[in-house]
Amino acid sequence: AAAYTAIKALTAKPLKFTVTSPYMLAKTLLDQHYGDRRALTMAIAEVLRQQVTTIDAAVLQVDEANLPGSPQDGVWAAEAINHVLSGVPAGVERALHLCFGNYGGQTIQKGFFQDLLPFFNALSVDHLVLEFARRGDEELPVFRDLKPNIALGIGVIDIKDNEVETPETVARRIERAVNILGAERIRWVHPDCGFWMLPRSVADRKMRALVQGRDLFVGQQG
């Protein structure tokens, strides 16, 4: 909550605030107390639930980059994430970002969205923010089976590569996603993940390409 208070005053624009998933935290901590990963995860989830109760951002997003390597944990990982989100104030949109890891430009986790579909359908979220630019869009059809009340955010910018996409490339990626899933399911387009490892000049140009590609797609549809 203190971090949110510090950042809230920096902008008059709608603000997204992110927290790390309790499952991801449990997978990266040394457990010297619980002796059970699920119990540890739920304990962390309760701490996070208490911390988000005063965060009135436009969007509260949980970030998860470890589960793709262990999809068998999906149902109870979703239970822990839902517990965190149960503390979010009314009127705040709830989101989950899932990627396959990003450390030094490397994909850390191996897996498939198909295996994670039960996890996605167990979530109490308004939208998902997903990685597609780096992975490719072959698994887009999987999300035809996502429950209809969850909107999608589609990654169209590769953050593991210094090459800057053209607006035409971005527009094509959006168009393919819309053709497969329908415009009503795709609420957001965005980078695959964060830009932390890229030079600022590259990140700025990629964001510019994202906006230009979005505008190009919208103009073509109009």
Q: Render the chain in DSSP notation, one character per residue.
A: -HHHHHHHTT-SS--EEEEE-HHHHHHHS--SS-S-HHHHHHHHHHHHHHHHTT---SEEEEEE-SGGG-GGGHHHHHHHHHHHHTTSPTT-EEEEEE-S--BTTB------HHHHHHHHHH---SEEEE--TTT-STTGGGGGGS-TT-EEEEEEE-TT-SSPPPHHHHHHHHHHHHHHH-TTTEEEEEESS--TTS-HHHHHHHHHHHHHHHHHHHHHH-
Name the pLDDT band for 206 (thresholds 50, 70, 90). very high
Q: What is the pLDDT of residues 191-202, one digit of tens each?
A: 999 898 899 999
The pTM of this model reads 0.93
Name the residue among 112, 57, 66 with its Cα closest to residue 85.
57
pLDDT at residue 110 above 80?
no
Name the residue among 126, 150, 154, 125 with its Cα closest to residue 139.
154
Q: What is the pLDDT of residues 155-174, one digit of tens each?
A: 999 998 899 999 999 999 99
* Phi and psi angles of residue 103, each rounded to the nearest 5 degrees, phi first: -135, 110
Look at residue 109 in the predicted model and tell me its pLDDT.
Answer: 61
